[in-house]
Chain A
Amino acid sequence: MVDVAFQRTAPAKATSARTSLHRALKRKSTMAFFLTLPLILLVAGLVIYPAFYAIHLATLNKAMTKFVGLGNFEFLFKRDTFWLVVKQSCIFAITAVIFKALIGFIVAHFVHNVPANKQRRWRGMLLVPWVIPPAMSTLAWLWLFDPSYSAFNYTLSFFGIGPIPWTGDAAWARFSVILVNVWYGAPFFMIMYLAALKSVPEQLYEAAAIDGANWWQRIWYVTLPMMRNIIAITTLFSLIVTFANFDIVRILTAGGPLDRTHIFATWAFRVGIEGSDIPLGASVSLFMAPILAIAAIFILRDISKRGNEA
C-alpha cells in the first residue's frame, strides 16, 4: 500500500510543479522581470559593479596593497582643501539648481503662452544648450572667458567696463562655472516644467479667475501645487547631476584659481588620476553619495507622502 501511494504522489507533484511554473510564466510581473532583465544586467555591470569596486578602492592604502578601512576618509577629514571642496560643491550645486529651476520655470511660462503653432520652434531653440555635448559647448565658453582674449571683455570694453578676470579671480571663476552650468541645465527644467504646465487642467485657472485670483495667486495656489511633484523630482535629478559635474569645471577652470572652483569630481580626478592616488580619489568621489542619498530620501519621502494624500 505504501508503495502504491508513493507511486501515485510522484506524478501528481510533477504535474503541480509544471502548472505552477506555467502559471508563474503567465504572470505579468514575471514577464516584466524578464523584459527588464537585460537592463538590470546592464545596470549591474556598469553601475553596481563599479560602485562596489570604488568602495573597495576607497578602503585601500595609497599603494593599494593594504586594507585601511575608513582610513582614507579619516585622512580627508583632516585636510582643509577637502572641506573647501565640500563647501564649493554645495555652493556650486545648490546655486546652479536654484537658478536652473527659476529660469526654467519662467521660460516654461513664456513658451506655454506662445501660440501653439509657434511653440515647437521655440521649444527646439531653447533646448539647444541642453543637446550640445557640454564638453563642446564649454570649450566655446572657455574662449568667451579666455583670460587674455575674452570676447566678453572685448564687448564690455566698448562700454568702458572691464577687463573682468572671468576665470582668474576666485569669485568671478565661481560665477563663471555656475553660469555655464545654468546655461546648460536650464532647458531641461524648462521642458519638464512645460510638460507639467500643459497637464494642469484649464478649469482650475477658470475657477481661480472666477474667484478673482490675480496672476500671482494663480501661480501660488494653482500652478505650483499642481507642479510640486515634477519640481521635486526635477530638482533631485538635477542636484545629483550637478553635484557629480565634471566637464564644465574641468574645461573652464580645472579647479583654479587656488582650488577655488574644485568640486568633488574634479578634485577626485586631480587626486586620483593626476596624483596617482586612486584610493583617495575614490574616497573623494564616494563622499558625494551620502549627501545625495540624504537629499533623495527627503525629496522622495515628500513625493510619496503627497501621493498617498492624493
Chain B
Amino acid sequence: MSRRKLSRRQFVAATALSSAALITAPYVRGAYAAGSVSIGFWDHWVPGANKASTDLVNEWAEKEKVEVKIDYITSNGRKNEITIAAEAQAKSGHDILAMPTWWPHAQTELLEPMNDVMTALIAQNGAVNDTVKYLGQLDGKWHAVPFCIGSQIKGPCTRIDLMKKFANIDVQEMYPAGSEPKADNWTMDTFLKAAEACHKGGVPFGIGLGETSDSVDTAGAIFQSFGAQLVDAKGNLTVKTDEVRQALEYYKKLIAFLPPDAGAWDDASNNRWLVSGKGALIMNPPSAWAVAKRDAPQVAEQCWTHGFPKGPKGRFAPHLPYFLAVWKFSKNREAAKSLITHLSQSKSIEKLVAASGGYDLPAYEKLTTLKTWAEEGPPKGTLYHYPNPYNHQILSIAASPAPPKVAQQIYVQATLTKMCLRYGQGEKMESTLAWAEGECEGFMRS
C-alpha cells in the first residue's frame, strides 16, 4: 500500500482553488440560480388580462434566472384584502403583493421602502399624480409602487343619445376624441339640470348611495368639488363647515333625481343600470361599457367615458390606484424590486393596458396617451379621455386629504354617502353633521 504524500504547495493550491470555486458558485447562472419570487396579483376580470401579466413575469424570470410563482387573487368577497391582512399577521406569504388604495398605508411598517425603484421610474415615465403620492408615500418616502393593473378613474360613462335627447348635451363635442376637452360649461349645476332632465325622461342617472366603493367615490369627488372635507390634512375635524353644508345641500337635490333604491346599490348595481339601458349616466371605469359591448352592443355603441363636472372648488375625479408592495419579511427583496421595475417599464405597461382593453391606468404622466385608449370602441375614441390625458381634472380619492389611516376609516365606513342619505331622507342638517363628527372622532383613534 503506497500512500501519496501531500506537499505544502499542493495543499495551498488545492485550498485556494476550492475557496474560489465556493465563492464564485452563486454567480454561476444556472436555471433559477437567483432564487425564487412569489407574486400575488389582483385577479383581473377582463379575460386574457392575467395572461399578459404572466407573460411579462415569465419574460423577466427567464432573463434573470429566477423561479416565479404567481397567484391571482380575486377581489370578490374582499379576498385580496383578507390575504393582505393574513400575510401581515403571519409575517409570511408572497414576496410581492398587489395592494389596493389604502392598504400600503395600513401596512406601511411592514413594507420595504421603494424610493430607489420610484426615483428611477419617475425619471423614466414622468411624474405621478398627487393621489398616488398621498396613498403610496409616508413622510415623502415611497412604500409601494403604483401599478397599472386594477388602477382606475371612476368618471362619468354617459349615454350619448340619451344625454343629447333629454338634457341637450353633446358629450362627444364636450370631450372630443383626440383633442382637448371643451367642458367649461360642464359644471355641477349643469350636471344637476341634466340629472333632472334625464329623470323626467325616465332614464335617471345611476349613482348609488350605498356603502360600497362606487357610491363612496362619487360622493368623495362631489364633496371635494365643493371643498368639503370631514377631516383636514392635519387631522382636524372640519365637518361643521359651510363647504360640507353646501355639498350636502347639493346631494339632497341630486338624490331627488336618482333611482329610489339607490341607497341599496352595490358596485354591480350601476353597471347593470347602464347595461340594461335604464339610465343615461353612471360613474364607473369602462368595465360597464366593456360588459355592454358583450351583452348589449347597442348600448355600448352609445357610451362615452369623460370627465367629471366642475364644482366651485375645482373639477375632481375619483381615482383608485393599485400598488405593488414588497414585504420586509420577503426573502428575495432585490429580485422583487427588479421584477416591479420590469413591470413598470413603458413597454410592459403598454402591453398590460392593451390586454385590459384600456381599463388599467398607469400612474405616470408620460403614459396617459397610449394608443389603446384612442383606438378602443365602439364608438371609436370612447375611452380617449378616460386616463385624463390633458390633466383636465384633479384625480382624487374620497376622504382625502385626511391622514390616510383616518381617511381609510371614513372611506370604508362610507361616512360620506351615509351623510348624504341621512340628510336626503329628511334628517336635520345639524343632526347629520353631529353624527358625522362623532364618527370621525372615533376614526382618529391610534
Contacts and interface: CB of A to CB of B under 8 A. Distances in A.
Contacts of B164: none
Interface residues of A, number: 34
Nearest to B446: A62
B211 A255 contact: yes
B250 to A, nearest CB: 20
B446 A148 contact: no
Contacts of A166: 264
Contact of A148 (B81, B106, B273, B408): B273
Contacts of B89: 278
Contacts of B212: 254
A274 B421 contact: no
A61 B261 contact: no
Nearest to B435: A80
Which residue, of B85, B211, B259, has the highest number of chain A Cβ atoms within 10 A?
A: B211
Interface stretch (B5-13, B343-351, B437-445): B437-445
What's the dominant secondary structure at chain B's contact region? helix
Interface residues of B, number: 41
A80 B439 CA distance: 9
Interface in A76-108: 78-81
B261 A274 contact: no
A276 B273 CA distance: 32
A275 B412 contact: yes
Interface string B398-417: 00000001001100111000
A258 B78 contact: no
Interface string A54-68: 000000011100000
B269 interface: yes
Contacts of B210: 254, 256-257
Given A62-B445, A274-B412, A275-B412, A254 B109 contact: no
A168 B264 CA distance: 4
Interface in A131-160: 147-149
B442 A258 contact: no
Interface string A245-267: 00000000111111100000000
A273 B78 contact: yes
A167 interface: yes
B86 to A, nearest CB: 9
- Please indicate which of the listed interface residues B210, B264, B446 has the most CB atoms of chain A within 10 Å of its own CB: B264
A147 B210 CA distance: 11
A75 B445 CA distance: 9
Given A147-B261, A254-B212, A256-B263, A273 B446 contact: no
Interface of B: 78, 81-82, 85, 89, 102-103, 106-107, 109, 210-212, 259-266, 269, 272-273, 276, 278, 405, 408-409, 412-414, 418, 421-422, 435, 438-439, 442, 445-446
12 contacts: A62-B445, A149-B272, A165-B264, A168-B261, A173-B264, A254-B211, A256-B263, A258-B263, A258-B422, A274-B412, A277-B445, A278-B89
Instruction: Sort A-B residue pairs by CB-CB distance and give the 10 closest, nearest first.
Output: A168-B264, A147-B261, A276-B106, A147-B264, A167-B264, A274-B412, A168-B261, A257-B263, A256-B211, A168-B263
Given A168-B264, A272-B85, A275-B413, 4 more contacts: A81-B439, A255-B211, A258-B422, A276-B85
